[in-house]
């Protein structure tokens, strides 16, 4: 079997849902990654790709796991053109390293998935991990302008390019974003970036009920001075993020832009909260609050974390179906609700939420302990386009070596 010997300690660190790898591979560029996959395909040996491990709990229990395919040797900044607002990086680059490079030029990539000190570019792409700013800044798809992917055939395919208006190969880029590494290994990514905001502020609004807070969040999202993030937390999650309140629900609004824009946005946010019957928090909010809120929704082996994504019109019904023993953080303007539930009630919570979504949304198990996960339907019913997904898997990974069994429909 290809790859390098792996220590017992490394095996445990790279355990996935109770399965351990036999070998590890650490390619150092896109071509080495493609050659490594080709050797695995000859066996065939099942591969699970490792970046920082922040999204590794997402997915069904693997069907097989032979090779831990680490991208830690592919962590370089390949190109950066501050004047053009573009950069090209390898998939193993950690997001904090990329952010530091961009910050030195007064720029940033406005995506904030959990644990950026460990999260890698490739993991963010594979899991479509967007963070809390989705309503204003969009998703990973909106910031990727080029991609290089290694395949089990031993080839590297490139799509897009270094310029923002280049749309060549756009469908190939979309194909791999959120595919959980089941179609190929993302090796390089081109991003467009933006200038860092001049000023920031946070407004907290406390509510006795969720629906008025949801109304404020969705209403502000359509304003010119829209918040860069709007999250609704129950009191337990608020406490976990370092703050306390006597109210059941707290709406946190992050405001960014030029100083005069932030001042105007703060006035609008405060007025909106009060008109909806909420109370505005007057104290200064530490920056650590937003970091804690971002990281709260990270998949973790010991936690049952559910994510519901639904059209805004279905959001009230979904919120009404939230179990009483759940802890909740939602992004109302994006129709996203994240819940932590006790393992014993996970199956019931999943059934209730999928019923409330009424076929118009999706409820996914983001993570669960090994004692519970095998009994849960992680992805729910396959979408109408599943036959196309299966055909793509067969065409790009005919021996099924890439993350086998972990994606929708057992792909």
The structural domains of the chain, with segments of one domain joined by +, span 1-196, 199-294, 297-375
CA dist., res. 278 & res. 209, Å (int) = 9
Q: Looking at the DSSP assignment, which residues form a beta bridge with residue 256?
A: 200
CA distances from 180 to 8, 73, 163, 167, 184 (A): 26, 20, 26, 23, 9
Residues 6+ apart with CB under 8 A from 392: 175, 183
Specify the CATH number for 199-294; select among 2.40.30.20, 3.30.2350.10, 3.30.70.2190, 1.10.260.40. Answer: 3.30.70.2190
User: Is it true that 199-294 and 297-375 share their CATH fold?
Assistant: yes
Residues 6+ apart with CB under 8 A from 267: none
Q: What is the DSSP letter of 120?
A: B
By the 8 A CB rule, do 156 and 148 touch?
A: yes
CA dist., res. 195 & res. 82, Å (int) = 10
What's the confidence (pLDDT) of residue 225?
87
By the 8 A CB rule, do 34 and 151 touch?
A: yes
For the chain, 411 residues long, give each residue's pLDDT as a single digit of tens. 798 899 999 999 999 999 999 999 999 999 999 999 999 999 999 999 999 999 999 999 999 999 999 999 999 999 999 999 999 999 999 999 999 999 999 999 999 999 999 999 999 999 999 999 999 999 999 999 999 999 999 999 999 876 665 555 557 788 999 999 999 999 999 999 999 999 999 999 999 999 999 999 999 999 988 999 999 999 999 999 999 988 999 999 999 999 999 999 999 999 999 999 999 986 678 889 999 999 999 988 788 999 999 998 889 889 999 999 999 999 999 999 999 999 999 999 999 999 998 778 899 999 999 889 999 999 999 989 999 999 999 999 999 999 999 999 999
Residues 6+ apart with CB under 8 A from 128: 139, 140, 141, 177, 178
Task: Indicate the CATH number for domain 297-375.
Answer: 3.30.70
CA dist., res. 197 & res. 200, Å (int) = 7
By the 8 A CB rule, do 57 and 366 touch?
A: yes
- Cis peptide before 113, with omega less than 30 degrees from 0? no
Specify the CATH number for 1-196; select among 3.65.10.10, 3.30.465.10, 3.40.50.720, 3.30.9.10. Answer: 3.30.465.10
């Amino acid at each position: 079997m290809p790859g390098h010997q792996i220590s017992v300690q490394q095996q445990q660190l790279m355990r996935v849902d109770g399965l351990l790898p036999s070998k590890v591979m650490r390619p150092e560029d896109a071509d080495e990654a493609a050659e490594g996959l080709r050797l695995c395909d000859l066996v065939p040996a099942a591969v699970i790709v490792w970046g920082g491990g922040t999204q590794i709990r997402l997915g069904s229990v693997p069907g097989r796991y032979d090779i831990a395919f680490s991208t830690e040797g592919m962590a370089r900044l390949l190109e950066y053109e501050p004047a053009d607002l573009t950069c090209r990086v390898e998939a193993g680059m950690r997001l904090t390293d990329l952010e530091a490079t961009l910050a030195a030029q007064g720029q940033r990539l406005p995506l904030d998935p959990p644990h950026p000190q460990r999260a890698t570019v490739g993991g963010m792409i594979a899991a479509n991990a967007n963070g809390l700013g989705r309503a204003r800044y969009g998703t990973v798809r909106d910031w990727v302008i080029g991609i290089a992917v290694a395949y089990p055939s031993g080839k590297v395919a490139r799509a897009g390019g270094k310029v923002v208006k280049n749309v060549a190969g756009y469908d190939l880029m979309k194909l791999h974003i959120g595919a959980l590494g089941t179609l190929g290994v993302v090796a390089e990514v081109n991003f467009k970036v933006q200038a860092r905001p001049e000023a920031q502020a946070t407004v907290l609004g406390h509510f006795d009920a969720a629906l008025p807070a949801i109304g404020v969040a969705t209403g502000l999202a359509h304003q010119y001075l829209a918040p860069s993030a709007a999250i609704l937390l129950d009191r337990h999650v608020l406490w976990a993020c370092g703050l306390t309140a006597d109210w059941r629900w707290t709406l946190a609004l992050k405001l960014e832009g030029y100083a005069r824009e932030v001042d105007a946005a703060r006035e609008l946010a405060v007025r909106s909260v009060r008109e909806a019957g909420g109370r505005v928090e007057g104290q200064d909010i530490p920056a650590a609050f937003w970091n804690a809120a971002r990281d709260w929704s990270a998949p973790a082996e010991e936690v049952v974390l559910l994510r519901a994504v639904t059209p805004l019109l279905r959001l009230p019904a979904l919120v009404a179906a939230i179990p009483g023993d759940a802890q909740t953080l939602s992004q109302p303007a994006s129709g996203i609700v994240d819940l932590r539930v006790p393992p014993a009630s996970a199956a019931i919570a999943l059934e209730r939420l999928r019923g409330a979504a009424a076929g118009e949304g999706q409820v996914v198990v983001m993570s669960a302990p090994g004692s519970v996960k095998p009994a849960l339907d992680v992805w729910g019913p396959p979408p109408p386009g599943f036959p196309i997904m299966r055909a793509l898997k067969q065409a790009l990974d005919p021996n099924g070596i890439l993350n086998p069994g972990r994606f929708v429909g057992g792909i």
